[in-house]
Amino acid sequence: MSAGTLDPRGVRFTAAVTSAILALGLITASWRVLAAQMVLFGMCAFIGMRLNPWGFVYRQAVQPRLSPIDQADREDPAPVRFSQGIGFAFALVATIGYAAEWTTLGFVANAFALVAALLNAVFGYCLGCQLYLVLRRLAPAGASTSQTR
The model's pLDDT over 41-90, given as tens digits with 9 standing for 90+, comes to 999 999 988 888 998 888 888 888 888 888 888 989 999 999 999 999 99
The CB-side HSE value for 102 (13 A sphere, CA atoms) comes to 11
pTM of the model: 0.86
Q: Find out whether 93 and 31 touch, Cβ atoms under 8 Å.
A: no
Report the candidate in 113, 65, 61 with the shortest Cα–Cα distance to residue 90. Answer: 113
Q: In the prediction, which pLDDT does 1 show?
A: 42
Q: Return mean pLDDT, the chain.
A: 90
Q: CA-CA distance, 92 to 5, in Å (whole number)? A: 27
Instruction: Give CA separation, 84 vs 9, 52, 58, 100, 104, in Å.
Output: 16, 11, 17, 24, 23
